[in-house]
Each structure stands twice: as structure tokens, then as C-alpha cells.
Amino acid sequence: MNITQATRRVLRKYPNISEYLSYGIVNYRALARLIQPEVERILGERVKLQSIVTALRRSGGEPAHDSAKRILAESEVSLRYDLGLVTASLSRETPRRVQEVHRLLRGSAYVLLQGLENLTIVTRQEHVPGLEKLFGEELVESRRSLAGIFVKSPPEIASTSGVLARLSSLLAGEGINVVEMMSSHVETIFLVEERDCLRGVEVIREEIKRARGG
């Protein structure tokens, strides 16, 4: 692996950088100084700063990820307030608890996500007390005053790399903590604190407009 290849490998961790490089709005030397330790780690040797700058300039000529931009251009973003989250540990009682959840939340929209160790439910915050009581000692965490940023995309998002990484990095760049992120085929949900939700929607909306050329 040469310096250019190592530099491009590091840049993959920063989804928006390649696009910004193509616009010529990145300070090459500052960026090179930032990624120099990681480039050297990959190559296992010292690398001159100017060599990385040269590699960045070559990478800057690469076109942006057209597929990811098209997905974003065809996406829509919306917002839902007054959400809550309940997380409980899995146990032998979980199947029965899930049936109770369906009964308790009948008629209300909710998202249920089961991992290897925990079960997470996102629903209207008014249902949180009932869920807390249902899970009892199995309760791991419960939160209120959350909002959901919903991004609906075309089906191709399931086979297109970089879209979710770009959206996540946008929120992180604004200092917005994502409490929970979940995806169901064409729908991606970023659960954030209500105080951050308008800023989060706006930054994603601006990125969608930019992908559309607006």
C-alpha cells in the first residue's frame, strides 16, 4: 500500500471530506497534519507531511459519491415530538413482556428493537410510565422529552454505502447527540433531545437541498 492509498483509506472514515475536497474548501496542510499519525500507522513508517498533502490533492479530484448524493436528493425528512424511550434487559419473560407491550400500545405508533441483550421501545412519552411498570427490575433505562428525526429514502439506500454515515456525521458536526438510531428498510430514525431536534432537521434538510442542487 502506498501513501495515496493509505490516505484514501483514512478519508473513508470522514464521509463528507472527499466532497469538500472536490469543492476546494479544505486546508490541505491542516487536514494532512490531522491524519498523519493514522497514515503512518497504516504504512508502519514515518511519512512526510508534504507527501500526505500531495495525496490529498489527488484525492480532491475524485468525484463525490454519486449514488449517495442521489439517495439524499430523493429523501425526505420529518419530525415527531413528545417521544420516550424504554430499554429493558432480555430474560425468559421477554416474549410475554412483548405481548404485553403490543397490548399496552395498541392503537399507538411505536418502534420495538431487540438486540442480543436488550429490548428498546420508542413510543409517545405518555406511555413510558406504563412500560416502566411492566418491565420492573428488568428496566435498564427510560427517557422522556425526545424527538424523532425521520428520514425516508428510496429503497436503494439498503444497498448504497455512505448515506447513513453522512447523516450521522452531519448531526455530530453540530454537536447533536443521537440517543438512538434505528433503520427499517427505507426509513431511518435519529432519536435526539427535543432541544436539538429543530437544528438536526435543518442540517439534514440543507444537505438534502444541496444534493438536489438547490
Please list the pLDDT of the chain residue by residue as tens digits (214 residues).
899 889 888 887 776 676 666 656 678 889 999 999 999 999 999 999 999 988 888 766 444 457 788 899 999 999 999 999 999 999 999 999 999 999 999 989 999 999 999 999 999 999 999 999 999 999 999 999 999 999 999 999 988 877 888 888 889 878 899 999 998 889 999 999 999 999 999 999 998 998 888 5
* Domain 72-211: assigned CATH number: 3.30.2130.10
Strand duo 178-184 + 118-124: pairing: unpaired
C-alpha grid cell for residue 188?
431511518
pTM above 0.75, yes or no: no
Number of other CB atoms surrounding residue 13 within 10 Å: 11
Amino acid in position 153: S
Q: Is 172 exposed, middle or buried (0-12, 13-18, 19+ CB in 10 A)?
A: exposed
Measured distance CA(213)–CA(66) in Å, rounded: 12
Measured distance CA(140)–CA(181) in Å, rounded: 18
The residues of the chain that CATH labels 3.30.2130.10 are 72-211
Q: From residue 144, give the alpha-carbon distance in Å to each of 52, 88, 152, 179, 188.
A: 46, 15, 24, 11, 20
